[in-house]
Amino acid sequence: MKKLTILCLIILILTAISNVSVSAQTARNEVLIRNATVMTAARGTLTETDILIQNGKIARIGKDLKAAANAQIIDATGKFVTPGIIDAHSHTMLDAINEISSSVTSMTNVRDVLNPTDVSIYRALAGGVTTANLLHGSANPIGGQNTVVRYKFGRPVEEFVFPGAPMGIKFALGENPKRIGANPQPGQTPRYPITRMGTMEVIRDAFLRARDYKQSWDEYRAKVAKKDKTAVPPRRNLELEPMVEILEGKRLVHAHGYRSDEHLNLLLIADEFGFKVATLQHALEAYKIAPEIAKRGTGASVFADSWSYKLEAYDSIPYNAAMLWKAGVLVSINSDSDERARRLNLDAAKTMKYGGVPEEEALKMITFNAAKQLGIEKQTGSIEEKKDADIVIWSAHPFSVYAHPEMTMIEGVTYFDRAKDIQKRGDLAREREMLEKMDINKAPGTGGTAPRIPSEKRIEERDEADRTDGGNRR
C-alpha cells in the first residue's frame, strides 16, 4: 500500500511537471530569436536576422536586437525561421466529422465537438502547423459550420479558437455527398440527392429557404420598428441562420469538390444569390477554370500531388497549384489528413518542382495565403512586426526533406520543442512502467476479454465520406 502511495506521488509530480511547461511559459513575455535565416512569407528572406517577441507579438525584426535581462534567448544560427504553417483543411481534434443524416446540416458546428487532447494536435505542431481550419466532413452538399483554431495543445479548449476569425461553413460537391445518399449505411434509408444535379438543387433550395427566412425576420423587425404590438417573432432556425449569414457576406463558404464543372456551377449559384465563395477545397481540376475563379476573388485550397485515387480525381495534375497561381488565384495547400499535416512544408516545395512557383510564393501557400483565405491575415501567416508570434524554427531549409521543426511557437509560447520532447520520452517511459505495475492496470490473471490486436494500418482519412469509396487518398 505504501509502495503504491509513493508510486502515485511520483506519477503526480511527473504529470505536474509535464503540464506546467506550457502554462509557465504563458507568463513569459519576451523572447529573442537570434541570427536566423528568416523566411517572412511577406517581405522576402532575411539572413542573420533577429526576431524580438514581446507579449506574444513580433515586436521587432532586425539585426543585433537587444532583449530584457529575463528574456528567453534562442540562438538560431544556421537555422531557418518561417511563419507557423496554416492548414486550410483539417479534421484533427474533432470527435465527430459528418452529420450524415441530412443533406443540409448547416445547423451543426464543429466548435461543439473539439477535443483538445487529440495527440494529432501535438504531431501537427511537430510538423510546424500552428493554425488549422477545422471543417465538417464532405458527406453533405451543405455541411456544418467550421472553426479556425490555433493548436495550443495543453491549454483549455476555448483558447484554441482563433479570436476574430470570420465564421465559415463546409459545402461538398461530387461523389461524396451523392454516394452517401445512394449507398446508405446499413439501417439507413437512401437520402436525396443521389446525382450531381440533385446536389446543386439542394444547395439552391437551401438558399431560397434562407431568403424567405431572412424576409420573415425583416418583416418582423419592420413591425417592431413601427411599434406594432401584434408582431410575433419568427421561430429561430439554426439551419437557416448560417445560410442567411452567407447571403449577407458574413460567413465564408469552403466548398469541397474535385471536378471543374461542378465547382463552376457553384460559382454560378453564388453569382445568382450574390455572395462570394471563399475557397474551393481540393479543386483538383481548378486549373481548367482558373480565370473564372480568379475573376471572382475566390481562393483555391489544393493538394500538392494527389491524383487518380478515385474516378473524379483522374484529371488532377501536380501543376494545378502553379497554374492557379499564375492565373492570379489565391492558392493554399492543405492536408485534409492528420498524417500529411506533419509535412506540409514538403507539399509546398513540390509547387517549385511542378510549375516553378518561386520560393516565397510556395511558402505563402501554406502560410500567408491560407491566412488570407480564412480572413486571419492581419494576425498571422507572415513574419512581420505587430503580428502574432506564430513561428517555426527549422533545423534546415524547410523545403529540404532533411528539415524538421525544432520549435513551434504560438503567440510567443513554445508548444513544441524537439529537445524537450526527446528529453520527455524517458519520463514518459518511466511513467508508463510505473503505471503498468499498478494492480488496477494489470491484466486479469485468467480469462478476461480478448486483447485488442493492432489493426493493419492507421486510418489516415478522418472524413468518413472519403473513407467509404474503395480507397483512401493514396
Q: Which of 105, 146, 306, 367 binds other proteins (CB under 8 A)?
A: 105
Does residue 426 touch other proteins according to CB under 8 A?
A: no
Residue whose CB is less far from other proteins, 93 or 371: 93
Q: Cell 509530480 appears where?
A: 13
Residue 173, burial from CB neighbour count under 10 angstroms (0-12, 13-18, 19+): buried
Candidates 107-115, 307-315, 343-351, 352-360: pick the segment binding other proteins (CB under 8 A): 107-115
To the nearest whole angstrom, how small is the minimum distance from the Cβ of residue 266 to other proteins?
A: 23
The answer to whether 54 and 410 are in contact (CB under 8 A) is no
Q: Which of 281, 300, 319 is nearest to 365 (CA)?
A: 300
Binding mask 53-82 for other proteins (x = CB under 8 A): ------------------------------
Q: Which of 36, 39, 46, 97 binds other proteins (CB under 8 A)?
A: 97
Residues β-bridged to residue 57 = 54, 388
What is 363-427 written as a DSSP string? HHTTTHHHHHHHT-TTTSSS--TTSB--EEEESS-TTSTT--EEEEEETTEEEEEHHHHHHHHHH
Q: Which of 43, 63, 432, 474 binds other proteins (CB under 8 A)?
A: 432
| Grid cell listed for 15 | 504529470
Q: Which of 22, 71, 96, 161 binds other proteins (CB under 8 A)?
A: 96
Give, for 254, the enclosing helix (H) or strand (E). strand 251-257
Residue whose CB is less far from other proteins, 101 or 215: 101
Q: How many residues bind other proteins (CB under 8 A)?
A: 60
To the nearest whole angstrom, how small is the minimum distance from the Cβ of residue 154 to other proteins?
A: 13
- Give φ, ψ of 426 to 5 degrees: -65, -45
- Give φ, ψ of 348 to 5 degrees: -65, -40
157-216 residues in contact with other proteins (CB under 8 A) are 157, 184-189
Candidates 8-16, 207-215, 339-347, 401-409: pick the segment binding other proteins (CB under 8 A): 8-16
Residue whose CB is less far from other proteins, 75 or 219: 219
Q: How far is CA 414 from CA 22, 172, 257, 275, in A?
A: 7, 36, 36, 39
Rounded CA-CA distance 80/306 in Å is: 28
Candidates 283-291, 317-325, 418-426, 435-443: pick the segment binding other proteins (CB under 8 A): 435-443
119-138 residues in contact with other proteins (CB under 8 A) are 136
To the nearest whole angstrom, how small is the minimum distance from the Cβ of residue 107 to other proteins?
A: 4
Q: Which of 293, 317, 289, 323 is nearest to 305 (CA)?
A: 317
Does residue 452 touch other proteins according to CB under 8 A?
A: yes
Does residue 423 touch other proteins according to CB under 8 A?
A: no
233-252 residues in contact with other proteins (CB under 8 A) are 233, 235-238
Does residue 98 touch other proteins according to CB under 8 A?
A: yes
Q: Cell 445568382 appears where?
A: 272
Q: Which of 450, 457, 458, 470 binds other proteins (CB under 8 A)?
A: 450
Does residue 436 touch other proteins according to CB under 8 A?
A: yes
Pairing of strands 299-302, 330-333: parallel
To the nearest whole angstrom, how small is the minimum distance from the Cβ of residue 68 to other proteins?
A: 32
Dmax over CA atoms of the chain, in Å, equals: 78
Does residue 20 touch other proteins according to CB under 8 A?
A: no
Rounded CA-CA distance 217/207 in Å is: 15
Give, for 429, the enclosing helix (H) or strand (E). helix 418-437
Q: Which of 2, 226, 227, 442 binds other proteins (CB under 8 A)?
A: 442
- Is the backbone peptide bond immediately before 193 cis, with ω within 30 degrees of 0? yes
Q: Could you tell me the sign of the dihedral formed by the alpha carbons of 412, 416, 418, 423, in that order? A: positive
Candidates 24-32, 120-128, 346-354, 450-458: pick the segment binding other proteins (CB under 8 A): 450-458
Residue whose CB is less far from other proteins, 109 or 382: 109
Which stretches of 53-126 are DSSP H helices?
119-126
The answer to whether 391 and 383 are in contact (CB under 8 A) is yes
To the nearest whole angstrom, how small is the minimum distance from the Cβ of residue 102 to other proteins?
A: 5
Q: Which of 47, 70, 77, 449 binds other proteins (CB under 8 A)?
A: 449
Rounded CA-CA distance 7/18 in Å is: 17
Residue whose CB is less far from other proteins, 225 or 232: 232
Residue whose CB is less far from other proteins, 268 or 438: 438
For the beta carbon of residue 204, count every other beta carbon within 10 angstroms.
15
Does residue 451 touch other proteins according to CB under 8 A?
A: yes
Q: Which residues of the shown chain bind other proteins in the complex (CB under 8 A)? A: 1, 8, 11, 15, 95-102, 105, 107-110, 112-117, 136, 144, 156-157, 184-189, 230, 232-233, 235-238, 428, 431-432, 435-436, 438, 440-444, 447-455
